[in-house]
Amino acid sequence: MAKAKKLKSGNWRCLVYSHTDPDGKKKYESFTAPTKKEAEYMAAEFAVDRTRANDSRKWTLGEAIDHYIELKRPVLSPSSIYRYEMIRKRSFQSIMAIPIAKITSNMLQQAVNEEMTRTPLNRKGSVSPKTVQIEYGLIASTLKRYCPGRVFHVDLPKKARRIRSLPLPAEIYEAVKNTDIELPVLLAMWLSFTMSEIRGLTKSKSIDGEYITIKEVLVSVGGVDERKEIAKEVTRNRRHRMPGRIQELINEVDGDVIVDLSPKALLYRFRKQMKLHGIEEMTFHDLRHVNASLMAMLRIPDKYAQERGGWKTDHIMKSVYTETFSEERQRVDNLIDAYFENIL
């Protein structure tokens, strides 16, 4: 280990060999600190990091992804980590055993082409273009971190444009009226709440007089529920005035949890009701699309439409929350509530 030397200033300096330049001259990194121990520690840390960087070139792509996942584990949500682990386990398997130092653009392109023909587990058809893009995003991020300076050129499949017409809110309401999923459907279609937001609602934390607030979400990670706060996503912690019908249904719920259904059970019951009323090929998340389409039809200003839906933009972060329940916002609520109350 390099030894530190005391300078005239009283500080200690430690030099560590860095590299040899094109002229054959050795270059060193200099670390200066008030004490000998600190200077030598900084130098040792640099040497270890450099060794790790060299060692990473020997990793296979799969090993590099494993390291990347562990690196990101403290800062990513459990659902994101789970998704990364499933990609590592099931996707792009033809190149996972190749050392990252030997990976080329042609290899990556061939792997992308093969992935587009893979049949997902327990599903029909092949992997969607959107899924391939998400999977490759993990690979690209891993290579960027552990192969700095290398540039890979890969053409990814383009997302197919989904052209369809959504059923009217009145048709959807007719299908779920007076059923055990009327409440979650109205929360999604009327207030634009996602499934995880709906499952996270509780009377004790979410209900405040005539308002309902998103304070927690309940996500399912590998079949295991995890309740978490979502304060990091400011736009998702939104607050709406509670419509009368939704308040009636909440009052009828026993216990604190407002919608006590698993994602699988909720989706199954939703699709069953839709099919019974001749509405097929619709997901629960499509209810948010119905809500967005309705706001466009009612000509709700973008500012308020984005706020109600919790869609993140710079404009929302900087200004919306200072006037959440202004007179204009109340007019917007009145307009949307009147539309749904007319259906009911």
Which residue has 């971190």 as its token pair? 145
Token pair recorded at residue 123 = 């599903």
Q: Is residue 236 located within the same domain as residue 301?
A: yes
| 276 and 131 belong to one structural domain | no
Cβ-contact 256, 270 below 8 angstroms: no
Whether 108 and 173 map to the same domain: the answer is: no
Residue 96: CATH number of its domain: 1.10.150
41 in the same domain as 67: no
Task: Judge if 74 and 222 occupy the same domain.
Answer: no
Residues in the chain: 344
Shared domain for 199 and 252, answered yes or no, is yes
Q: Which of 200, 285, 209, 287 is nearest to 247 (CA)?
A: 209
Question: pLDDT tens digits, residue range 189-206?
Answer: 999 999 999 999 999 999
Looking at the predicted structure, is the pLDDT value of residue 83 above 60? yes
Highest mean pLDDT among 81-85, 147-151, 312-316: 81-85
Against a cut of 0.85, is the pTM above it?
Answer: no
CATH code at position 240: 1.10.443.10
Mean of the per-residue pLDDT values of the chain? 85
Q: In this structure, are residues 282 and 274 in contact, taking their beta carbons and an 8 Å threshold?
A: yes
Higher pLDDT, residue 113 or 222: 113
Residue 315's pLDDT band (cuts 50, 70, 90): very low
pLDDT at 162 (0 to 100) = 62
- The answer to whether residue 325 scores a pLDDT higher than 60 is no
The 10s digit of each residue's pLDDT in 13-59 is: 988 887 676 677 887 888 899 888 888 888 887 776 565 555 677 89
- What range does the domain containing 102 cover? 61-146
- Of the candidate ranges 192-206, 216-230, 323-337, the one whose mean pLDDT is the lowest: 323-337
Long-range contacts at 205-210 (CB < 8 A, ≥ 24 apart): 206/258, 207/242, 207/250, 210/241, 210/242, 210/247
Q: Residue 320: its pLDDT value, please? A: 32
